Amino acid sequence: MEIFVVTEGATERQVGKVLYEREVLSRRARPRPRDWKSIYGQTREGYEQVVAALKGDEALLAEAKRLLLVFDQESSSSPATRAAQIAQDLHRGSATGLWQQVSWNPVDGWENLFECRLAGSHVVLHISDAAVANANRHDFDGYILRLLRGPHKLKIAAKLVPEGLNLNPQALLQKAEREITQMMERNGFPWTHNKSWLYAYITAFQFRQSHVGFAKEVVKSAPASELRQVFASLIAAWNLLIQGDDR
């Protein structure tokens, strides 16, 4: 059983890969592509690029019997509002009539999950709706921040300290959570995006890779029980596609 995965960015795929390797996402299904890389390549990342790629892909719905779409809520007022916008954008100028038929049905028990069936394909839409206080956008980065601010943050931080450096994980967390943030506020530049807070952690921990790599390491370092809680809606979307008509 395969689940085709199309995401707005690279962070979702790299985190998904770790969740799958740790069996937080069920092994009853395999991801497609198998290596969790982008179906459309790195040049087709970002909302507009991915939507355009989907609209021009007539073969995907014919091949993919199970398709998982992962998009951010961004500044929309609710996941449902964002889902409606995505449907509208897929309808507009679609090269294939199949995408013109997209009409999302909400999934019971989840305000950020939606589904539809197109030409025999089961499509599940996951709207990433996480945010920290004062953020004006909801997105996948918010889930990483929930881990970094959750009950196991000190354990996670201890694993993020660069090897060979005698640094106090708790002190680094304080710098990311308070000192860097408060410095920006004092200078009249309060943060409004999840990624700004995420880069505060990257700076404090002197992480030398991208925010995608940092998110991956955070998920690797978090207890499986915490991952199941934070990514509960993503797990539910994955399981929904596995269950299909059996539920």
User: Residue 69 in contact with residue 13, Cβ under 8 Å?
Assistant: no
According to the model, what pLDDT value does residue 42 have? 63
If you search the block for the tokens 């997209």, which residue do you land on?
102
What is the pTM assigned to this prediction?
A: 0.93
Element (H, E) at 66: strand 66-72
Mean pLDDT of 12-37: 94
Q: Is the peptide bond before 33 cis (omega within 30 degrees of 0)?
A: yes
| Count of C-beta atoms within a 10 Å radius of residue 203 | 13
Q: Are strands 105-106 and 121-128 parallel, antiparallel or unpaired?
A: unpaired
- pLDDT tens column, 128-187: 999 887 778 899 999 999 999 999 999 999 999 877 677 899 999 999 988 988 898 899
Q: Write down the domain spans for the chain.
A: 2-131+229-246, 141-228
pLDDT at residue 75 is higher than 70: yes
If you search the block for the tokens 């992480």, which residue do you land on?
207
